[in-house]
């Protein structure tokens, strides 16, 4: 059986967990769950990095010993795991005896091989990074990560002959093009190696300057450099060198890290492994930063997002879904509560939640809450099954390739397709006409596809996935499910099993009544505050006669297509089915609130008897109704059980 070993970085315990820690952990957890559903043996590791200068300084500032301090902060990372539904097989700490023994074993092995030597070195030392920088690596004389001028330190230390393995590493990357992914980070590492700037690595600190670390086995006056120590956790956790666990999982190890620790993982680590006689890892998977106000999160800027705060406000399923759906892996992404709410309402409440609710409601209304027996397939059934197979296959391919956003968008093609399938087959009309056999097939087709959607969502939102399956009378056992088989199997749901009467997993979330400035953590300006006060005190809109209101014709519609306006960044061009011979084109100022790919399949309300007009060169033949509150615009949506074109009276 194939194996899969997922690791996060071991998180440095100089501060509490933040959004970046939660994201990396959730990604690794999701990948572990995904590969488990692909029929593989899996292992998932996380933990904490507890040595170094910064730990001593943080402990001193808190009036604690280093051990007391690391025990306290490490516990916060361990407490975070169940709250974000991460289920690692192991949580390693670099202060544990098993890790210390492994580090010293590898140090001695590399030393005995002649790849560690003693020498004197002077360099620019950044205490924040706990590493030396060359002149070329500095930016305007400052650390590129912390923006402060490093301190010049000259001292005798031990060095690892990292430069010896430069050519080997270049050839290994060339031979294994997916060794570092996405591709942009691989190219960055190749450029560094080809520049000729790779030097030997200082791997010790004299105890006279720093005693909080792992003692070198060949010189008791020195402790190990924190990065040489920390990286070895990936080996010590699986029992290097002799345990069955190491032999099974190391060949399939996948490291997940943020881009700020690319160099240690892409250069230090593989050369260390080569020197120790260990095969390199399979993949290094590198993601971007979560930005707030287009800026990297920083304690000094006060823009650090607490994952616990987000979970308390919006729930686990929405939080995990948003992080995986919003960030294109490898690129930076922006975090805001308004974006999270918008994604929740559009994808989870409107699309998936509405689909579950209407399906359960119709099963109760037409079949007393029992799953009906499927009958003969119709044309629509064959088409939706084809769409479902394609959507699931694409989801599996994209997820395996770290393209989580595209994977979820592929799965949502099925979710939206099911909503359209219900509209097209019109179960309410089948019931009214007494077409019970056809009605049975339609509802069974919907419910069985809901089972498949829920199973595929287990890596993303595990608890909600299990709840969704329970609502349609299905159980969940990850040991018995193989996602690839879901492309072809049919009829897993048993007829006659009772389903829930409704689903309230994804209720809509109201946008908080705060100004945009307040959401960004900035006080609203006096001018802004006065403007908002004026709005509150503004007189009510003028009354209109009922006869004027009667002149408006409003209908339910369904968005079929959406794209960006060719000449206006704020506008989208939509094709909307309004129950007529052809769809109408609508130009709407929604680009700031919706991505074009999020809109197809949405049920909307439109005013249809306005005179057509050109907006920046594109004809608009109707107007969609929206609701607005504090900087956010949301489309007014319809229940979905009514067909496109239904009039609103």
> Residues 18, 51, 456, 558: which is the catalytic one?
18
> Residues 143, 255, 344, 403: which is the catalytic one?
143
> Residues 146, 161, 172, 364: which is the catalytic one?
146
Separation CA 575–CA 573 (nearest Å): 7
> Residues 126, 265, 449, 452: which is the catalytic one?
126
* Catalytic-residue membership of 146: yes
* Catalytic-residue membership of 124: no
- Number of neighbouring beta carbons within 10 Å of residue 133: 18
Cβ neighbourhood burial of 354 (10 Å; 0-12, 13-18, 19+): buried
Cβ neighbourhood burial of 172 (10 Å; 0-12, 13-18, 19+): middle
Q: Which helix (H) or strand (E) holds 102?
A: helix 97-112
* Catalytic-residue membership of 299: yes
Residue 182: asked if its preceding bond is cis (omega within 30°), the reply is yes
- Number of neighbouring beta carbons within 10 Å of residue 625: 13
Backbone φ and ψ for 512, nearest 5 degrees, come out as -60, 145
The rounded radius of gyration (Å) of the Cα atoms in the chain is 29
> Residues 109, 142, 283, 296: which is the catalytic one?
296
> Residues 21, 54, 255, 565: which is the catalytic one?
21
* Catalytic-residue membership of 456: no
> Residues 129, 287, 403, 456: which is the catalytic one?
129
Which pair of structure tokens corresponds to residue 25? 């952990």
Residue in 477, 424, 432 with CA at minimum distance from that of residue 455: 477
* Catalytic-residue membership of 21: yes
Q: CB-based contacts of 601: which residues, under 8 Å, 6+ apart?
A: 351, 415, 416, 417, 419, 420, 558, 559
Separation CA 318–CA 296 (nearest Å): 23
Separation CA 61–CA 72 (nearest Å): 14
Instruction: Region of 332 please: left (phi>0), alpha (psi -120 to 50) or beta.
Output: beta
Q: What is the DSSP letter of 52?
A: S
> Residues 57, 299, 570, 647: which is the catalytic one?
299
* Catalytic-residue membership of 296: yes
Instruction: Region of 310 please: left (phi>0), alpha (psi -120 to 50) or beta.
Output: alpha
User: Which residues participate in catalysis according to the annotation?
Assistant: 18, 21, 126, 129, 143, 146, 296, 299
């Amino acid at each position: 059986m194939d194996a899969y070993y997922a690791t996060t970085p071991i998180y440095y315990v100089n501060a509490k967990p933040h959004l970046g820690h939660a994201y990396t952990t959730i990604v690794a957890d999701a990948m572990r769950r995904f590969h488990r559903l692909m029929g593989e043996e899996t292992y998932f590791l996380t933990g904490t990095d507890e040595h170094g200068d910064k730990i001593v300084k943080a402990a001193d500032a808190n009036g604690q010993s280093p051990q007391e301090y690391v025990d306290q902060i490490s516990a916060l990372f361990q407490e975070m795991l169940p709250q974000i539904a991460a289920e690692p097989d192991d949580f390693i700490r670099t202060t544990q005896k098993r890790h210390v023994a492994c580090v010293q074993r590898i140090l001695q092995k590399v030393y005995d091989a002649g790849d560690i030597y003693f020498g004197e070195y002077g360099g620019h030392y950044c205490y924040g990074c706990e590493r030396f920088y060359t002149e070329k690596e500095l930016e305007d004389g400052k650390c590129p990560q912390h923006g402060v001028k490093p301190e010049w330190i000259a001292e005798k230390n031990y060095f690892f002959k990292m430069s010896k393995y430069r050519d080997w590493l270049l050839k290994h990357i060339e031979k294994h093009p997916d060794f570092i992914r996405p591709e942009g980070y691989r190219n960055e590492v190749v450029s560094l190696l080809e520049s000729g700037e790779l030097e030997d690595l200082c791997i010790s600190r004299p105890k006279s300057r720093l005693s909080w670390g792992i003692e070198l086995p060949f010189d008791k006056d020195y402790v190990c450099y924190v990065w040489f120590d920390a990286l070895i956790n990936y080996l010590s956790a699986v029992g290097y060198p002799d345990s069955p666990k190491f032999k099974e999982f190391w060949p399939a190890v996948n490291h997940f890290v943020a881009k700020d620790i690319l160099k240690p993982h892409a250069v230090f680590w593989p050369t260390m492994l080569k020197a120790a006689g260990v095969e390199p890892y399979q993949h290094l998977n590198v993601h971007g930063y979560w930005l707030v106000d287009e800026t990297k999160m920083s304690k000094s800027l006060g823009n650090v997002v607490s994952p616990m705060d987000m979970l308390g406000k919006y729930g686990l399923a929405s939080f995990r879904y948003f992080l995986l759906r919003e960030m294109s892996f490898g690129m930076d992404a922006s975090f805001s509560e308004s974006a999270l709410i918008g994604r929740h309402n559009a994808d989870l409440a409107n699309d998936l939640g509405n689909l579950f609710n209407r399906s359960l409601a119709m099963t109760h209304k037409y079949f007393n809450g029992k799953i009906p027996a499927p009958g003969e397939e119709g044309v629509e059934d064959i088409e939706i099954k084809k769409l479902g197979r394609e959507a699931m296959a694409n989801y599996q391919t994209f997820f395996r390739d770290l393209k989580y956003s595209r994977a979820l968008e592929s799965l949502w093609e099925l979710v939206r397709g099911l909503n359209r399938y219900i509209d097209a087959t019109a179960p309410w009309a089948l019931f009214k006409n007494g077409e019970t056999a056809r009605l049975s097939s339609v509802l069974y087709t919907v419910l069985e596809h809901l089972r498949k959607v829920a199973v595929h969502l287990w890596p993303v939102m595990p608890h909600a996935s299990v709840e969704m399956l329970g609502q349609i009378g299905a159980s969940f056992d990850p040991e018995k499910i193989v996602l690839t088989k879901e492309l072809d199997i049919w009829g897993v749901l048993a007829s006659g099993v009772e389903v829930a009467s409704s689903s309230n997993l994804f209720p809509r979330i109201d946008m908080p009544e705060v100004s945009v400035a307040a959401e960004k953590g900035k006080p609203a300006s006096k001018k802004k505050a006065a403007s908002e006060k004026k709005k509150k005190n503004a007189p009510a809109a003028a009354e209109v006669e009922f006869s004027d209101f009667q002149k408006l014709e409003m209908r339910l519609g369904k968005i079929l297509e959406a794209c960006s306006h060719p000449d206006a960044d704020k506008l989208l061009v939509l094709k909307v089915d309004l129950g007529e011979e052809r769809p109408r084109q609508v130009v709407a100022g929604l680009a700031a609130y919706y991505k074009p790919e999020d809109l197809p399949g949405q049920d909307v309300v439109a005013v249809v008897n306005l005179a057509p007009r050109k907006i920046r060169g594109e004809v608009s033949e109707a107007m969609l109704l929206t609701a607005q509150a504090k900087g956010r615009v949301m489309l007014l949506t319809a229940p979905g059980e009514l067909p496109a074109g239904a009039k609103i009276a």
